Structures are given as C-alpha cells and as structure tokens.
C-alpha cells in the first residue's frame, strides 16, 4: 500500500495535505489534486486554504484542464487579492483561457474572454515578469480575430459567382479594414475588393456599368499606390486593361 | 473596556482582530472570510472595513454584524467583529395541506431543515403559497406562519416553524352581469373575458375560477371589445364582486358605452415610396365603416402576426427598417373620425456587418455560405426568415434556438448590424448491434457523421471525438455474419471547391454471401456470390428557374460475381454481370422549417437511370439469341428428355443468359412529389405521389430482372442482391404486392411500373431538441405492373392507419405504424387486414 493510497483513506487532513504537497512537488499532479480536493472543504475559511487553493488551481493547470484551471485561478485572485501568488494566478488564469481559444474559424467567445483577461492582467501588473509573454499571447489572439474576419470577407468574394452578390465582399472588406487597420492582409484585401468591384462592373447592366467601372478603377489605383510591387498586380493589370477597354465604349459614344 | 467610534480616515496597521457575539463559526474562519488580515495597512474608517462587513453580510449566515475599533496603540489598530448567527430551521409543521403535497412545498419554497430563517423567507413563503392556491381557484386562501425560537443543545439559535394554510372553498363565478350596455349583448361581453368564465357544465376545457390578476386583464378585454365596435369612449364605471355563498361569487360590471363612432376621411402624409392607393389597398378600411381602433392598429402593425399584410411590414420588407407610421385623429365632429396616417419613411437600411456566433463546432465558411443576408444588402425581413430556415435545415444547429440580434441601428447612415446566434447540436449517429438470425450471429457497426471534417482526419487534436465542422457527411457501415459480410462507405462534400454548392458524393460497397454447407452446418466459402460497387455523383443547386432546384448526376458501377452459387436471379452458377449506369435527377425542395417535421413547402424529384445501349453496337443478334434460348428452354423443360440432355440444355440457357447479362442494359425513370400544408393549428397534411418505370432499349434483349420495384411494407432497403427498390406501402407485408401478369399469374420478380398516392395527417407532440415526437394518420394506395398493357394506375392496393415517429439526435428517426390493408394480396380473396411496421431512419 503506497503512501498515496494510505493518505487517500486517511481521516487526518494534515496527512493528506503533506502527502499531497509531496506528490505535487514530485510532479504527480493528478494524484495530488485528488487529495487536495478531499481537504479543500475542510480548510475553507482557514489560513491554509490560500496555499491549498493555489496548489489546487496549479494542478488543474498542469493537468491541462484549462477550463477548470482558468476558473479556479480566477477564484483565487478574487479570494486572496493580497496573496503573493496573485500576480502569477492572474496570469495563469488568462493563459488557461488562451489555451481554450479554438481555431479561428469557429466561435471566438473564448478568445475574446482570454483577451479581456490578459488586458486586465496587463493593466494591473504592468511591471510583471509575465508581461512579455502576455503581450505575445494577446497578439496571437488578436490575430485570430483578424484572420477570422478576413476569412469571412474573402469567402463572400469566393462565392460571389454563385450568390451574384459582388457588393457583399466589397462591404465586408471595408468593414474588415476599418476594424483591423494594421492588418497584414491589407494587400490581399485591396485586391479582393478590386476583384469584386471588377466582377460587379463587368456583369453590370448598361445603366450602372460606367460608374461601377470607374469605382473598380479607383480600387485598382488604391492597390497599386499602396503596394507597388504587389504579387497581385500581374492579375490586376490584366483586369484593369479590360476595364479601360470597356470604358472606351463610353467615352467614344459621348 | 470601552468601545469607541472609529475616527475618520487614518492609516493604521492591523493588530489583533477579535470576534465576539454569538456564533458557532471559529474566529479564524470569520476573520479570513472578512478579508482582513493581521499586519496589513488599512484606513479607519475606510473601504476595507466596509468591504469586510459587506462580505460577511453576503454570506447570509448572520443576523447582526458590527465592527468596533477596540483600541489603538500608536498606529496599530485592534478590531473587534461582533456578530450573531441567524437561527436555523429545526422543525417544520404544515397544517391544512395533504401529506403528498407537503414535500413539494418544502422544495418549492426552500424550507429544508437547517435553512437560515430570515424575515424575507417567511414573507416570500407566505406570498408564494397564497398566490399558488389563489391561482388554483381558492380565492379565500389564508396563510399564517408562526416561528418559535428554540436554541438547541449546543446553544445554536434554532427556530421551529408552523405553516397554517387555510385554503377555504374553491370559488367559482356563478354569474357575470353587465349593466349599461345597449349595443352589445351580455353574452358577447362575457365571451370577451378570456380567463374569467361563468359556471357552465358544458364548458370542459376552461373551468370557472376567480383569479384577481386575470380578472383585471379581462376587464380590459371587455373595453377592447366595445372599442372594436365603434364605442371608443367606452369605460368601466364600476365593478363589484359579491359573494353568493362560500363557493360562489357574482361579478357585476357597469359599463358606459358612449357614442358609436365611424371612420371619416383617411389620408396619408409623408409617403413617397408607395402611393396612397397602394397603402389604401393594405389598410382595407373605408370611409363610413364603424370605427375600430383595434383593427386600425392591426392594419398598421399587427403585433400578433409577424408576417401579416400590414403597412409596417410593407415598409419593413423593403429596407425601410426605421419607418414609423403614426395614426392621428384630425377631426371627430359628429362622431365621424377623420384620420391622418403620418408616415416617416426614413432611409432605406442596408446591412453593415452580418455575423454568426455560437458555432463552437461548425466552421465559419460552412455557415456564411448559407446566408441570404450579406453585408451591403438592403434590409429585408423575408431574407432574414429564409436564412433562419436554411440554417436550421443544415441539421447542425437547434432549429428552435436560432436567434437574430440587430445591433447598432443607425438611422442617419441607414445601416444596421445583424448577428445570428446559433446553438450547435449533435449530428452524429452511431449504430452498434448484435443479434442472432439467419443461422448465426450478426454484428453491425454503423457510424454516420453529418458535420464531418475530412481534412482534419490526420489531425489528432481535432478528434473531439471525431473531426467535425466542415459540413461533410461520412458514413461507414459494417455488417457480418457467418454467411455474409457487407461493407459500405460513403462520403459527401456539399460545396466542392467552396465556390458553388456543387455536392460531391462517393460511396463504395462490397458484399459477399456464402452458401450453406449441409455437411458441416457452416458457410461454404467456395460457394459465394460477391457484389462490389462504386458510385460517384455530383449534385448542383440551380439558380434557374428558382434556387430551390437541384440537378444531380451520378455514375455507378456494380460487379456481380458468382462462383458455384445458384440463385433464382441467374440461370448460371458461375459467371458475372456488370451494371454500369448513369443517373440524372432534377429535384426541387422548399420544405421548411425543420427537416424532421416540415410544416410547409414541397419536395419534388424526377430521376432517370440509364445504361449504355450496348445492343446497338456490340454486334450480337439478340433476336436470334432469344430464339435459340427459347429452343434450349423447351428442351430443358421437356420431362421426356434425359437428365443429361436437360442439364446440357440448362447450361446452354445459362451461357446465353451470361451473354445477355454481361452488361445490364436498361433505363429507369422515377418521379416523386410531396406537399406539406398546414391545415389548422399544428396539424400538417403531407400529400405524396410517386411513379416509376423500368424499360429496355432492345425488346429482344428484354427487361432485366434487376433494379425492379417491390411494393409493400415499410420500404426499408433490406438486404438484396439485385438492386431492387423497396417502395413503402403500409398495411401490407414487405415487398408483397407483386404484379399480376396478363394471364392472371402472380409474378415474383417485382414490377417494372408502379405508382403510389398517399396522404398523411401529422400532429407534433414535442418539438424539443432532445426528442421530436409526432403522431400521424395516413391513407395510401399503390400498385405495380410488369407491362404498360396491363397498367391501370387507379386499381390500387389501398390502406389506412396511424403511427408515431420519434426523432432523437443520437438514434435518428424511429417509428411504428399500424396499417390496415383494404385489399386482398395477390392470389388471395380477403382483405389483408392489420400490419405493424417498424420504421428506422426513413421518412414515408
């Protein structure tokens, strides 16, 4: 019968605590946590509870149970705002939330929650040793939201041939650039906007065609001005040639 | 020891904190809970002190909490927390209520032993019980609660509680009398009172009760009723409730009708998008009509029906989200009311951003491609409704929980944000079963995933428990016993390439069947019949004539291989047959909302399955072949010939048939239509028509014995060798309705022509996400033939019956039907009578 088994059956909370701590230090987090959970109610409201609930949260963290880790660290921060571990707990709570953030193409509720947690951590402990990592993770999360918004806008362009709605990608790209002005996708976004406007103009009825061709042309120049060496220019140049040719029809007739 | 009030806002270091008063919690626990700790710096008075007191209060464990500054030594402060525990409930006695109801009351009002008794608890319990019984019609209910303090042995404060409930007699309304009404009779006004009813033994569903709040509402309805009839000044002057006896009360209502008004001129102001005439057509109220405020309101904006034909919807469905319509009475001379409808149209509104939230499993692109409301589009309520419908049809989300949230309305710019909220639901099914049948154990494993993600199949992190979210379908099915094995696999991608809804699907199947070996009692692996098949298909949603149409195409190949295996299907025991066919189908489906229980729309399809016309170019003279075959057949069937000669002839027939069936040559045409209509209330009628025909290009080569239609029973595709199609017809045994040929002989190889008509009345019992249940009653009829010469589409086998369907996400659709067949089976004379059908995963 191992020490752990004995402690598990023991009625003495103190034994459980010491054995649990020993297991924790040895890296046996699952076993340690089992003991901690048994004695948490006993110590609730007592001074030992502070360390115990920190260890408990940390075990969840080490076991990669991110949801519980995030929750328990957050509770720890609320319950012991004066603890010396509170800074670390706040960071780990945010980091656990970060771990819960799903792939960019799904619901980003967790991502936003993690960003909020990091933000309040950064505001509270601007001098913390964890700040560089926090900043890095927040950037990663922000980029997820950016990638999501861009993916959606881009899809409106991809399916525009089917939906016959070329305005949707233009509007969606505008919204995207407005929301993420510093995006790394700006170049591609400009091209998608031009491409959508080009298709809208080419497929247009006569009465609206000229204006739409002009609009598309202006988007082309936005792309060219901002990204003179853009990889999209080769394609875009061919499209603008066609637009110019179409526009000639209007100038010769008038 | 002197207690002194704390001086204002001075900084101290906390010394000892002591706890006094009457509490069974240890001082240590209370101090820790308060958040104060020895040695920390605090302001007195200050935030931390009040925060500590607040924290202790929120525990709901104390009835009195005070904090004192005991003394200060330099800048060290000594505090005292004095608090008293709340008494706990020890014993509860309930009088005046049946024993069986007591437990309910204890849980509902939270009166378990040990609960802390506060004033609040006593009051809410009293109110709760009074309300509860008044709602049940015990108008005279009285509730008294007594509490008796009893400290327990350890000195903890405790309380015994006595609940006295006097329900009194159930009170009914025996009379409702009106006074002052001349235009409308009492009966009409009584009818307007929806909840308070006069006693009447004929009324079964709504019992007469007197409930104060409902009664107040009903008084409003009486006034509304009068207003609807032009008495727009009507009011209740007085109302009284008089007691007739202990059980009965009478209600007397005195109303003043006032004058009756009529509509005068109705003019429109501010309308630029629609003409007066168009708006008048929607309003449908003319000069001289009796004034009806309620109707007027409904024609302007009907709150009860979201898709009603009213002026507001006319604007709302065409982008004018911020339009307002304001009816103003401009002149009321001589009881004639002239109206002005003042319309503010506002700017047409365009969607700014359109987002989806709640998709924890499904990827964005799978959802956004289904949206009919996109950024930059003109706002239209109808498009929002359509999007909701199509999202629910995907089957990934709970149809009842799809929400739309409109955010950031901006009337100046004419923009609004739209957010769809979805809730993911289980869309995978697992089937695992074992059973004993056909002379041995049969094991089945079936897996079907409706929202699969093929690209994540090698990504271990995506297994939760299977990779999901790309909207693909994957199904696997294995079935094995000693005598046969079947394996099948299918995969569907609804948007191949991601640009257009081009559905790619493929399926592969293989089955092997072994003959029974009488010497060993086991399967004889040397005598086998294998069928392998592969199908690849493309289906495309069309935009013309409308975008409910789907065009599908598929190429399928099946290979039959026999070894020492004689079946009724082939005249040869060793050989093979190939079935290569091209299928083209056109279908239109606009049923809504829930695919399990459509409440409207129709589903129509036409398909043609064709093989190549081999006989045109393979150079075989089938006319001669069939003559030769007939000749050999004659020899084979002549009992005067010797066995050797007859066997030889049989082999010759087999050889000719092998030539005929090397490549199956046929064409098959099917048509099917279902219509769903709401009859009344929740009743839905589904009416359906089906027709199918199997033909041959070369009459000499003949219609193949494969691919035929088998009518009768539950229509479930049972295990079969010959690509037959089971057509459901309840009230008859499975596949029992074989055609009768020209000479009144019953055939046994299925029909080549069939048609079927059916009507089903459905009623939903539960449409919750965990289990959708509906009842159905049906009448149907169908018939099959082998030849157009015999064909009579109305000489039907008829049946009728009833059943129930249960849909649970984990199991799919299950059901049972009881059907009565009115006609006799082929070859019999009396009606077939009752049949029971079990339905698994298929819709009639």
Do B475 and B430 touch, CB atoms closer than 8 A? no
Residues contacting B141, CB < 8 A, separation 6+: B129, B130, B133, B134, B165, B166, B167, B168
* Chain B partners within 8 Å of A148 (Cβ): 364
| Cα B509 to Cα B522: distance, rounded to the nearest angstrom | 25
* Chain B partners within 8 Å of A66 (Cβ): none
Give the pLDDT score at B21.
85
Cβ–Cβ below 8 Å for B32 and A49: yes
* Chain A partners within 8 Å of B543 (Cβ): 162, 164
**Binning pLDDT at 50, 70 and 90, where does residue B155 land?**
low
Q: Strand, coil or helix: what is B394?
A: coil
* Chain A partners within 8 Å of B352 (Cβ): 171, 175
Least Cα separation, residue B31 to chain A (angstroms): 8
Mutation test of the interface with chain A: which of B17, B376, B383, choosing the one with the most A Cβ atoms within 10 A? B376
Cβ–Cβ below 8 Å for A171 and B499: no
Cβ–Cβ below 8 Å for B363 and A165: no
Least Cα separation, residue A130 to chain B (angstroms): 26
Residues contacting B738, CB < 8 A, separation 6+: B710, B746, B747, B748, B749, B750, B751, B784, B826
The answer, yes or no, to whether residue B160 has pLDDT greater than 90, is no
What are the pLDDT digits (tens) for B256-276?
988 889 999 999 998 988 999
Residue A240: how many CB atoms within 10 A of its CB? Answer: 20
* Chain A partners within 8 Å of B376 (Cβ): 165, 167-168, 170-172
Task: For A173, name the nearest residue in chain B, comparing CA atoms only.
Answer: B375
What are the pLDDT digits (tens) for B385-403?
889 888 988 889 988 889 9
Q: Strand, coil or helix: what is B399?
A: helix
Give the pLDDT score at B380.
85
Mean of pLDDT values over B468-485: 88
- A250 is written with which tokens? 């209007």
Angle between helices B212-228 and B293-300 (to 10 degrees): 90
Least confident of A38-52, B4-18, B602-616, B627-641: B4-18
CA triplet B133, B137, B143: central angle to 5 degrees?
Answer: 30
The answer, yes or no, to whether residue B61 has pLDDT greater than 90, is no
Residue of B33, B365, B469 lying closest to A155 (CB–CB): B365
The answer, yes or no, to whether residue B842 has pLDDT greater than 60, is no
Least Cα separation, residue B367 to chain A (angstroms): 10
**Binning pLDDT at 50, 70 and 90, where does residue B1 land?**
very low
Partners of residue B449 on adjacent β-strands: B428, B474
Q: How many angstroms separate the Cα of B793 from the Cα of each of B364, B391, B662, B785, B805? A: 49, 39, 34, 9, 30
Task: For A46, name the nearest residue in chain B, comparing CA atoms only.
Answer: B29
Taking Cα atoms as reference points, which of B527, B511, B516 lies closest to residue B478? Answer: B511
* Chain A partners within 8 Å of B32 (Cβ): 45-47, 49
* Alpha helices (runs of H) in B539-662, residue ranges in sequence order: 614-617, 622-637, 643-661
| Cα B109 to Cα B613: distance, rounded to the nearest angstrom | 80
Do A56 and A21 touch, CB atoms closer than 8 A? no
Mean of pLDDT values over B169-181: 85
The answer, for B49 touching chain A at a CB cutoff of 8 Å, is no
Taking Cα atoms as reference points, which of B664, B670, B746 lies closest to residue B705? Answer: B664
The answer, yes or no, to whether residue B295 has pLDDT greater than 90, is no
What are the pLDDT digits (tens) for B662-689?
888 999 999 999 999 998 888 999 999 9
Between B488 and B639, residue with greater pLDDT: B488
Least Cα separation, residue A166 to chain B (angstroms): 10
Sign of the torsion angle spanned by Cα atoms A107, A108, A113, A117: positive
**Unique residue bearing structure tokens 């701590």:** A21
- Tell how far CA B262 is from the center of its chain: 46
Mutation test of the interface with chain B: which of A41, A151, A165, A168, choosing the one with the most B Cβ atoms within 10 A? A168
Least Cα separation, residue A191 to chain B (angstroms): 18
Give the pLDDT score at B536.
96
Cβ–Cβ below 8 Å for B374 and A172: yes
Give the pLDDT score at B184.
84
Taking Cα atoms as reference points, which of B150, B161, B143 lies closest to residue B93? Answer: B161
Q: Three-state SS string across chain A, please?
A: CCHHHHHHHCCCHHHHHHHHHHHHHCCCHHHHHHHHHHHHHHHCCCCHHHHHHHHHHHHHHHCCCHHHHHHHHHHHHHHCCCCCCHHHHHHHHHHHHHHHCCCCCCCCHHHHHHHHHHHHHHHHCCCCCCHHHHHHHHHHHHHHHHHHHHHHHHHHHHCHHHHCCCHHHHHHHHHHHHHCCCCCCHHHHHHHHHHHHHHHHHCCCHHHHHHHHHHHHHHHHHHHHHCCCCCCHHHHHHHHHHHHHHHHHHHHHC
Cβ–Cβ below 8 Å for A159 and B500: yes
Do A221 and A243 touch, CB atoms closer than 8 A? no
Mutation test of the interface with chain A: which of B352, B373, B375, choosing the one with the most A Cβ atoms within 10 A? B375
Do B713 and B782 touch, CB atoms closer than 8 A? no
* Chain A partners within 8 Å of B374 (Cβ): 156, 163, 165, 167-168, 171-172
Cβ–Cβ below 8 Å for B368 and A155: yes
Which pTM value belongs to this model? 0.67
Residue of A107, A152, A172 lying closest to B357 (CB–CB): A107
Give the pLDDT score at B438.
59
Cβ–Cβ below 8 Å for A45 and B29: yes
Q: How many angstroms separate the Cα of B497 from the Cα of each of A158, A191, B378, B458? A: 10, 21, 28, 20
At CB < 8 A and 24+ separation, what contacts does B790-798 make? B790/B739, B790/B740, B790/B741, B790/B742, B791/B753, B793/B755, B796/B757, B796/B823, B797/B711, B797/B712, B797/B729, B797/B731, B797/B732, B797/B737, B797/B821, B797/B822, B797/B823, B798/B731, B798/B822, B798/B823
Give the pLDDT score at B721.
65
* Chain A partners within 8 Å of B386 (Cβ): none
Sheet order of strands, B41-44 included? B41-44, B10-22, B76-85, B62-73
B 571-610 residues inside an 8 A Cβ radius of A = none
The answer, for B373 touching chain A at a CB cutoff of 8 Å, is no
Q: Give the DSSP H or E segment for B429.
A: strand B428-437
Least Cα separation, residue B28 to chain A (angstroms): 6
* Chain B partners within 8 Å of A158 (Cβ): 498-499
Q: How many angstroms separate the Cα of B715 from the Cα of each of B33, B479, B799? A: 69, 20, 15
* Chain A partners within 8 Å of B37 (Cβ): 82
* Chain A partners within 8 Å of B368 (Cβ): 152, 155-156
Partners of residue B606 on adjacent β-strands: B586, B671
Give the pLDDT score at B543.
76
The answer, yes or no, to whether residue B144 has pLDDT greater than 70, is yes
Q: Strand, coil or helix: what is B703?
A: coil
Residues contacting A90, CB < 8 A, separation 6+: A73, A77, A117, A120, A121, A124, A125
Residues contacting B151, CB < 8 A, separation 6+: B157, B158
- Tell how far CA B736 is from the center of its chain: 34
The answer, for B499 touching chain A at a CB cutoff of 8 Å, is yes
* Chain A partners within 8 Å of B355 (Cβ): 152
| Cα A124 to Cα A94: distance, rounded to the nearest angstrom | 13
Cβ–Cβ below 8 Å for B363 and A106: yes
User: In this structure, are strands B440-452 and B428-437 parallel, antiparallel, or unpaired?
Assistant: antiparallel
| Cα B39 to Cα B17: distance, rounded to the nearest angstrom | 10
Least Cα separation, residue B42 to chain A (angstroms): 13
Q: Strand, coil or helix: what is B645?
A: helix
DSSP string of B781-830? EEEEES-TTT--TTSPEEEEEEEEEEEETTTEEEEEEEEEE-SPPTT--S
ipTM: 0.89
The answer, for B427 touching chain A at a CB cutoff of 8 Å, is no
Cβ–Cβ below 8 Å for A45 and B501: no
Sign of the torsion angle spanned by Cα atoms B396, B397, B400, B402: negative
| Cα B550 to Cα B604: distance, rounded to the nearest angstrom | 10
Between B416 and B434, residue with greater pLDDT: B416
Q: What percentage of chain B carries pLDDT values higher than 70?
A: 95
Q: How many angstroms separate the Cα of B129 from the Cα of each of B115, B124, B447? A: 18, 8, 52
What are the pLDDT digits (tens) for B818-835?
999 999 888 888 899 999
CA triplet B165, B171, B172: central angle to 5 degrees?
Answer: 160
* Chain B partners within 8 Å of A161 (Cβ): 499-500
Cβ–Cβ below 8 Å for B363 and A168: no
Residue of A46, A109, A168 lying closest to B374 (CB–CB): A168
Least Cα separation, residue B318 to chain A (angstroms): 17
φ, ψ for residue A133, nearest 5 deg = -65, -40
The answer, for B498 touching chain A at a CB cutoff of 8 Å, is yes
Cβ–Cβ below 8 Å for B25 and A159: no
Cβ–Cβ below 8 Å for A109 and B357: yes
The answer, for B489 touching chain A at a CB cutoff of 8 Å, is no
**Regions of chain A where pLDDT drops below 70:** 1, 252-254
Quote the DSSP letter at residue B271.
-
Cβ–Cβ below 8 Å for B376 and A167: yes
Average pLDDT over chain B, rounded to an integer: 85
Least Cα separation, residue A5 to chain B (angstroms): 30
Q: How many angstroms separate the Cα of B240 from the Cα of each of A18, B142, B175, B176? A: 76, 21, 12, 10
| Cα A162 to Cα A198: distance, rounded to the nearest angstrom | 16
Do B466 and B428 touch, CB atoms closer than 8 A? yes
Task: For A49, name the nearest residue in chain B, comparing CA atoms only.
Answer: B32
Sign of the torsion angle spanned by Cα atoms A131, A132, A133, A137: positive
**Binning pLDDT at 50, 70 and 90, where does residue B793 land?**
confident
Output the CA torsion A22→A28→A29→A35 (10° steps). Answer: -50
What are the pLDDT digits (tens) for B533-581?
999 999 988 877 887 898 999 999 999 888 888 766 667 778 888 999 9
Q: What percentage of chain B carries pLDDT values higher than 90?
A: 23
* Chain B partners within 8 Å of A67 (Cβ): none
Residue of A148, A158, A164 lying closest to B364 (CB–CB): A148
What are the DSSP E strand ranges found in B547-635? Answer: 549-563, 575-589, 592-593, 598-611
Cβ–Cβ below 8 Å for B364 and A106: yes
């Amino acid at each position: 019968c191992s020490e752990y088994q004995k402690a598990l059956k023991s009625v003495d909370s103190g034994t459980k605590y010491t054995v649990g701590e020993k297991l924790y230090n040895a890296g046996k987090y699952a076993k340690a946590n089992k003991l901690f959970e048994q004695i948490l109610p006993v110590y609730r409201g007592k001074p030992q509870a502070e360390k115990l609930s920190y260890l408990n949260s940390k075990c969840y963290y080490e076991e990669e149970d991110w949801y519980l880790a995030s929750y328990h660290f957050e509770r720890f921060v609320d319950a012991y705002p004066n603890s010396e571990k509170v800074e670390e707990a706040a960071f780990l709570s945010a980091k656990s939330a970060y771990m819960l953030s799903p792939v960019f193409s799904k619901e980003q509720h967790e991502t936003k929650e993690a960003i909020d947690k990091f933000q309040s951590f950064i505001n509270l402990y601007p001098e913390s040793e964890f700040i560089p990592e926090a900043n890095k993770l927040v950037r990663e999360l922000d980029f997820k939201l950016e990638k999501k918004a861009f993916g959606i806008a881009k899809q409106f362009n991809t399916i525009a041939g089917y939906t016959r709605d070329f305005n949707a990608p233009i509007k969606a790209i505008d919204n995207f650039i407005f929301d993420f002005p510093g995006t790394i996708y700006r170049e591609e976004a400009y091209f998608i906007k031009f491409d959508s406007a080009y298709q809208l103009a080419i497929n247009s009825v006569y009465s609206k065609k000229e204006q739409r061709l002009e609009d598309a042309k202006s988007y082309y120049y936005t792309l060219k001005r901002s990204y003179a060496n853009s990889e999209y220019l080769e394609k875009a140049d061919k499209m603008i040639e066609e637009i110019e040719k179409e526009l000639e029809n209007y100038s010769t007739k008038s | 020891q002197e207690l002194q009030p704390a001086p204002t806002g001075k900084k101290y270091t906390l010394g000892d904190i002591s706890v006094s008063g009457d509490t069974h919690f240890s001082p240590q626990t209370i101090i820790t809970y308060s958040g104060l700790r020895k040695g920390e710096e605090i302001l007195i008075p200050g935030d931390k002190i009040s925060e500590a007191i607040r924290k202790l209060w929120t525990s709901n464990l104390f009835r009195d909490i005070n904090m004192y500054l005991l003394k200060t030594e330099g800048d060290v402060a000594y505090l005292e927390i004095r608090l008293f525990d709340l008494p706990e409930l020890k014993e509860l006695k309930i009088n005046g209520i049946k024993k069986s109801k007591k437990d309910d009351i204890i849980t509902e009002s939270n009166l378990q032993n040990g609960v802390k008794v506060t004033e609040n608890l006593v009051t809410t319990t009293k109110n709760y019980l009074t309300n509860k019984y008044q709602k049940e019609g015990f108008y005279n209910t009285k509730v008294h609660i007594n509490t008796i303090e009893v400290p327990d042995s350890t000195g903890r404060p405790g309380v015994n509680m006595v609940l006295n409930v006097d329900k009194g007699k159930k009170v009914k309304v025996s009379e409702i009398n009106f006074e002052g009404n001349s235009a409308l009779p009492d009966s009409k006004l009584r009818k307007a009172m929806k909840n308070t009813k006069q006693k009447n033994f004929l009324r079964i569903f709504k019992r007469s009760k007197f409930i104060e709040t409902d009664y107040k509402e009903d008084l409003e309805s009486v006034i509304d009723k009068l207003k609807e009839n032009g008495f727009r000044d009507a009011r209740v002057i007085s109302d009284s409730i008089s007691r007739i006896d202990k059980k009965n009360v009478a209600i007397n209502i005195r109303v003043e009708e006032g004058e009756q008004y009529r509509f005068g001129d109705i003019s429109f102001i501010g309308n630029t998008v629609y003409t007066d005439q168009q708006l008048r057509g929607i309003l449908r109220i003319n000069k001289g009509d009796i004034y009806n405020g309620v109707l007027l309101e409904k024609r302007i904006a009907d709150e009860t029906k979201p898709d009603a034909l009213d002026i507001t919807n006319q604007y709302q469905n065409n982008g004018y989200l911020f339009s307002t319509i304001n009816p103003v009475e401009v002149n009321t001379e001589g009881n004639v009311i002239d109206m002005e409808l003042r319309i503010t149209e506002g700017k047409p509104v365009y969607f700014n951003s359109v987002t989806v939230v709640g998709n924890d499993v499904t990827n964005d692109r799978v959802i956004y491609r289904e949206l009919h409301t996109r950024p930059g589009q003109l706002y239209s309520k109808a498009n929002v409704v359509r999007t909701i419908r199509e999202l629910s049809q995907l089957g990934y989300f709970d149809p009842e929980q799809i929400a739309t949230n409109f955010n950031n309305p901006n009337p100046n710019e004419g923009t609004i944000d739209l957010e769809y909220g979805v809730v993911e639901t289980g869309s995978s099914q697992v089937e695992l079963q074992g059973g004993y049948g056909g002379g041995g154990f049969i094991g089945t494993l079936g897996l079907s995933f409706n929202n699969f993600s093929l690209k994540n199949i090698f990504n271990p992190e995506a297994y939760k428990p299977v990779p999901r979210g790309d909207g693909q379908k994957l199904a696997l099915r294995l079935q094995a016993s000693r005598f046969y094995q079947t394996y099948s696999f299918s995969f569907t991608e609804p948007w191949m390439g991601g640009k257009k809804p081009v559905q790619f699907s493929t399926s592969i199947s293989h089955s092997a069947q072994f003959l029974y070996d009488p010497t060993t009692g086991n399967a004889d692996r040397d005598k086998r019949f294998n069928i392998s098949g592969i199908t690849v298909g493309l289906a495309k949603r069309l935009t013309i004539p409308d975008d409910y149409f789907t065009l599908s195409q598929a190429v399928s190949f099946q290979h039959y291989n026999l070894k020492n295996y004689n079946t009724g299907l082939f005249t040869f025991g060793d050989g093979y047959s190939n079935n290569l066919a091209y299928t083209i189908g056109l279908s239109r489906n606009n049923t809504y909302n829930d695919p399990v229980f459509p409440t409207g729309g129709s589903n129509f399809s036409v398909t043609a399955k064709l093989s190549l016309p081999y006989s045109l170019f393979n150079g075989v003279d089938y006319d001669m072949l069939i003559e030769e075959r007939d000749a050999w057949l004659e020899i084979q069937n002549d009992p005067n010939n010797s066995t050797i000669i007859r066997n030889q002839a049989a082999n010759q027939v087999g050889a000719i048939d092998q030539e005929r069936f090397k490549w199956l040559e046929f064409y098959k045409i099917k048509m099917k239509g279902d219509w769903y209509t709401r009859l009344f209330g929740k009743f839905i009628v589904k009416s359906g028509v089906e027709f199918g025909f199997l033909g041959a290009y070369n009459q000499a080569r003949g219609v193949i014995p494969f691919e035929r239609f088998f009518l009768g029973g539950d229509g479930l595709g049972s295990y079969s060798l010959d690509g037959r199609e089971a057509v459901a017809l309840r009230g008859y045994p499975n596949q029992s309705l074989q055609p009768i040929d020209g000479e009144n002989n019953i055939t046994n190889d299925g029909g080549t022509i069939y048609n079927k008509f059916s009507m089903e009345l459905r009623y939903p019992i539960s449409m919750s996400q965990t289990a959708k249940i509906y009842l159905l009653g049906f009448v149907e009829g169908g018939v099959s033939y082998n030849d157009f010469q015999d064909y009579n589409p109305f000489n039907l086998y008829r049946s009728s019956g009833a059943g129930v369907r249960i849909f649970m996400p984990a199991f799919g659709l299950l059901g049972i039907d009881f059907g009565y067949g009115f006609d006799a089976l082929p070859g019999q004379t009396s009606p077939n009578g009752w049949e029971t059908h079990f339905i698994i995963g298929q819709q009639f």
